[in-house]
Every structure is written in C-alpha cells, then in structure tokens.
Amino acid sequence: MARPQSPQDKDREGCPCGGLAFEDCCARYLERGEIPPTAEALMRSRYTAFVRQNAPYLLDTWAARTRPATLDFGDAPQWLGLQVKAHLQRDERHAEVEFVARYKVGGRAHRLHERSRFERTDDGRWRYIDGDLFD
C-alpha cells in the first residue's frame, strides 16, 4: 500500500507549468513572494496558481481594471498541462504570451488556446490584463 503524499513530496513533483520541481519553479512566486521577471514567468505562475486554486495570487497578479471581485473554484476543471507557444515583448511595459492549456471537465478533454496581454505596472510587477481566445 502506497503511503499518502506529504506536502514536501508534492513540492518536489514537477511544476504544473512544465518547469522544474515546483519548489524550484513557481513556488518562488506563489509561496516565497518573489516577483516574476517576465510576462511569461507570470503566465506560467498563474497557470500553476489555477492548478493549485490559489485565488489570492491570481487576484493579486490581475490588472485592477479587469480583475474580477472573487474567484470560485467550485467547478474547476482538472488541468492537464501547459504549452507556451510564444512570448512577445512589445515594449518595456507591454507583453503578450500565447499558450495552450489542456484540461478535463466531466471526463472530456478540452484545450484553452489564448493570447494573453500583460502590462508592467508602476511598481515594476507584471499583471495579466486579458486575452483573446483562438478557435
């Protein structure tokens, strides 16, 4: 019989964003308060936050003008993987990240293909603004 996974074991698993072990990847942003240096790093950490249902992090990294008041994970999908297709740095304060996130709902697999827009605010932090979905 396998023993239950400890929180330390979970942190040593591969990061949901596809990077290194969680502890060496997105944990620095989600748990240790480091600031993602690029829009792509922020997007990867936000994907991981969706997987881990970390609403405070998601809301904090969302631009105030487009941020929802709350997030509800009641019927959250099962996230399966992330592929970053492109990262375009438009200028010092604006960037776009195109990605495909795979997920399951009710046993059916789906894909979310989006080009997300990010801006660097006056405090030097990247924030998610919005995105355009592909068919």
The torsion of the CA quartet 43, 46, 48, 54, rounded to 10 degrees, works out to: 170
The answer to whether 102 and 109 are in contact (CB under 8 A) is yes
The C-alpha atoms of residue 31 and residue 54 are separated, in whole angstroms, by 10
List, for residues 28-81, the tens digit of each pLDDT value. Answer: 999 999 999 999 999 999 999 999 999 999 999 999 999 999 999 988 899 999
User: Does 22-69+77-134 carry CATH code 3.10.450.50?
Assistant: yes
List, for residues 82-131, the tens digit of each pLDDT value. Answer: 999 999 999 999 999 999 999 999 999 999 999 999 999 999 999 999 99
Q: In whole numbers, what is the pLDDT of the chain averaged over residues?
A: 91
The C-alpha atoms of residue 58 and residue 60 are separated, in whole angstroms, by 5
Q: Six-digit token pair at 55? A: 């609403």
Q: Domain map of the chain by residue range?
A: 22-69+77-134
Model pTM? 0.89
Helices and strands in the chain: count of H runs, count of E runs: 4, 4
The answer to whether 82 and 26 are in contact (CB under 8 A) is no
